[in-house]
Structure 1
Amino acid sequence: MASEMNALAGAGVDAGDERVLRALLTRPQATVDDLATASGQHIDQVAAALARLSRRGLVARLAGPPALYTAADPRTALDALIHPAEQALRRARDAVAELTALFHTRTERPTAGPVEVVTGHEISRAFVRMQQSAVREVCAFDRPPYVHAAGNPVEPAVLARGVRWRAVYHPDALEPPGALADVRRLVDLGEHAQVLADVPFKMHLVDDRVAMVALDLDTATARTALVYPSALLEALAIVFESCWQRATPLDAAAGEEGVSDEDRQLLALLAAGVKDDAIGRQLGLSVRTMRRRVRRLLDLLGAQIRFQAGMEAARRGWI
């Protein structure tokens, strides 16, 4: 390894953090203890280094226990940090090729075909790496059950890099307490969120380059397919666009006097087919209060049934 150990100083990565990053790049995943041993640093120093590297998009923690970390492709992550006009950052750019070589020594695809099946913890690792490689756009179908945590800790960092993120949620994904609030936080960060009652399957499609598709919904025997450039990948992109056109937006800002943001959320959830008790939990309303508000909105829209109200609200640009 020919590079000096603080080659990434110009990108804001100090020598200790770089030692941790280099140790992680040679492994598919590692614990804090593993990296402390490999880098010759104290556990507390390594934990702090991982937090800093995570904020820079170089490292991500995998969902679920135990606390495991994996590295991103340095070329993608460091390109967002490096400014070619400064000499120190040019030196950091020169180190990217070496770090990328380390990354690819353990991420080469084991198959030459257009589809690769992954299982177990490799699903989370592949999911993190795929998101971190996004440059232009991520398109997602979101529906339970979830193999690990329902949340996605990587998405905020991807959005912060300016990557467009479009997500179509199944109504069941919005039913758990706090789920809608989590989606609204992602919308505030830049996600474009919609709801559709017949989301066909779970999928994440990155840059029309690779897709991750759940092959079954049994979390005990979860299998996921990674689909690479092929006619199948093109078909998945077409399916997503078709569903996106039919879905109901959750992030619309348009409205009318007397119609609050909460009213628009309620209308969007009704139009998407979310059940009454789930809507009440998400909005913090009793079933009685929610039904009274629904009646007011139906009257305001001149609608007789909820589906008609959703269609009319969409026509007026309320949702």
Structure 2
Amino acid sequence: MPDQVIGIQWSRQPFGLAHCGPWHIRAKILAMPQLTAAGIDPFDESVYRAILVRHTAAPAELADDLSCSTERVARALDRLRENGLVGRLSGTRRRYAAIEPGAALESLVRSRTADLDGVRAAAGELSRLFTTAEQGSFEQVEVITGGEALGRWFVQLQQEAREEVITLDRPPYALTTSNPVEATALTRGVRYRAVYAPEALEWPGVLGDIRELVHRGEQARVLPGLRIKLAIADRRLALMPLSLDLTTEVRAAVIRPSALLDGLIDYWELCWRTATPLDAPADDPLDEEDRQMLTLLVGGLKDEAIARQLGWSVRTMRRRISRLHEELGAANRFQAGVIAARRGLI
């Protein structure tokens, strides 16, 4: 249950906001709650307003701004992340980034406002009318620049999806490795199928995020050798960074219905058929750790990376592989992967 707001007087300055800039900014942080109707607790809203001022922050920094405990802020950040308002940044330290409010709040309202279904249906009809009238006015391939523009398009692509989002995912990541918009889209029935490069699983926190999304309904597979990042919504709109070098100006292509889009869909389908599933069957005879180890092994991760992901020493990991060879009747790691795949264990 959300934290209860106790003793907060919204007309005065109840928190220590020395780090939040001029008084007019602090006043906006302490404004009367406006997101309650969307299911956001007033205290959570104050945390969201505080992180909007900072853009990125650790729980301890926000706790200092709001004169409350770090644990309380951390719980609020977890709820805000579930609602798609903040994302957790990559790295070992727990740090969060605010999601751009316009896109994030629109997604939240869409997911919670059943009474506006009729209005949305009318808006969809009007949108199709507009698209038909303006057909031919858009470029089939549009080049966008900047990490923020790329992030906005990725959010928009998912929010506009009605049936399916398919992706190829690999590092590096421009802002955050997490994708809170996906969890919201899954709840409204959008299907997600993702192919991950083994390098993605080595980033701190990524494997845990993938497991959570798989639990929510995502279908995930791993494939060594991915050379591009790609997201396609409803097979009608694609987003693809033009370079994996994020130290220079970020450029990406927005691709609308065309022969190029058809080719990218065919390439994604080839990757999907070749990739190894990350989720196990319900009657998996192996324990969860063995299955994870096999999946990472088949995905092409090195011994050190697998041990780090599973919290083992390299020696322990290699000992378990040897035991797994005996259980599967395999002479080497390649055979173990083949046998496990044939039996439907991975």
TM-score, length basis structure 2: 0.68
Q: Distance in 2 between matches of 1:318 and 1:170?
A: 20
**Structure 2 CA distance for partners of 1:304 and 1:97, relative to 1, 3 Å:** same
2:101 match? 69
1:196 match? 223
Residue 73 of structure 1: how far off its partner (Å): 11
Contact 2:87 2:176 in 1 (8 A): no
Residue 133 of structure 1: how far off its partner (Å): 0.9
Say whether 1:275 aligns with 2:302. Answer: yes
**Structure 2 CA distance for partners of 1:67 and 1:154, relative to 1, 3 Å:** closer
Aligned-residue sequence identity (percent) comes to 44
Q: Distance in 1 between matches of 2:195 and 2:274?
A: 10
2:189 match? 162
Among 184, 192, 212, which residue is 2:239 paired with? 212
**Structure 2 CA distance for partners of 1:177 and 1:119, relative to 1, 3 Å:** same
1:291 match? 318
Contact 2:325 2:331 in 1 (8 A): yes
**Structure 2 CA distance for partners of 1:164 and 1:303, relative to 1, 3 Å:** same
Residue 298 of structure 1: how far off its partner (Å): 1.4
Q: Distance in 1 between matches of 2:111 and 2:300?
A: 43
1:126 match? 153
1:225 match? 253
Q: Distance in 1 between matches of 2:136 and 2:87?
A: 22
**Structure 2 CA distance for partners of 1:73 and 1:178, relative to 1, 3 Å:** closer
**Structure 2 CA distance for partners of 1:207 and 1:256, relative to 1, 3 Å:** closer
Among 227, 237, 252, which residue is 2:280 paired with? 252
Q: Give matches, 1:32-43, under 5 Å.
A: 43=31
1:28 match? none
Q: Distance in 2 between matches of 1:247 and 1:71?
A: 32
**Structure 2 CA distance for partners of 1:231 and 1:281, relative to 1, 3 Å:** same
Residue 113 of structure 1: how far off its partner (Å): 1.7
Residue 51 of structure 1: how far off its partner (Å): 6.3
Q: Distance in 1 between matches of 2:105 and 2:255?
A: 19
Question: What letter is aligned with 1:142?
Answer: D
Q: Distance in 2 between matches of 1:202 and 1:95?
A: 31
SS of 2:231 mapped into structure 1: strand
Q: Distance in 2 between matches of 1:70 and 1:59?
A: 12
Question: What letter is aligned with 1:304?
Answer: A
Contact 1:301 1:313 in 2 (8 A): yes
Residues 48-79 of structure 1, C-alpha deviation per residue, up to 9 Å, x if partnerless? Answer: 56764998x99855887566312379799748
SS of 1:292 mapped into structure 2: helix
Contact 2:84 2:184 in 1 (8 A): no
Q: Distance in 2 between matches of 1:179 and 1:95?
A: 34
Contact 1:62 1:68 in 2 (8 A): no
Contact 2:168 2:196 in 1 (8 A): yes
Q: Distance in 2 between matches of 1:76 and 1:113?
A: 30
Q: Distance in 2 between matches of 1:61 and 1:130?
A: 18
Contact 2:85 2:105 in 1 (8 A): no
Contact 2:164 2:192 in 1 (8 A): yes
SS of 2:228 mapped into structure 1: coil
Residue 93 of structure 1: how far off its partner (Å): 2.7
Q: Distance in 2 between matches of 1:141 and 1:308?
A: 27
Residue 280 of structure 1: how far off its partner (Å): 1.0
Say whether 1:239 aligns with 2:261. Answer: no
Residue 112 of structure 1: how far off its partner (Å): 2.0
TM-score, length basis structure 1: 0.73
Question: What letter is aligned with 1:222?
Answer: V
Contact 1:254 1:317 in 2 (8 A): no
Residue 252 of structure 1: how far off its partner (Å): 2.0
**Structure 2 CA distance for partners of 1:62 and 1:127, relative to 1, 3 Å:** farther
Residue 167 of structure 1: how far off its partner (Å): 0.6
Q: Alignment length, in residue pairs? A: 271
Contact 1:181 1:282 in 2 (8 A): no
Contact 2:103 2:152 in 1 (8 A): no
Q: Name the Cα RMSD after superposition.
A: 3.8
Residue 176 of structure 1: how far off its partner (Å): 2.1
Q: Distance in 2 between matches of 1:67 and 1:49?
A: 19
Residues 275-302 of structure 1, C-alpha deviation per residue, up to 9 Å, x if partnerless? Answer: 1111111111111111111111112222
SS of 2:304 mapped into structure 1: helix
SS of 1:213 mapped into structure 2: strand
Contact 1:60 1:128 in 2 (8 A): no
Residue 118 of structure 1: how far off its partner (Å): 1.2
Say whether 1:112 aligns with 2:138. Answer: yes
Question: What letter is aligned with 2:309?
Answer: Q
Contact 1:74 1:99 in 2 (8 A): no
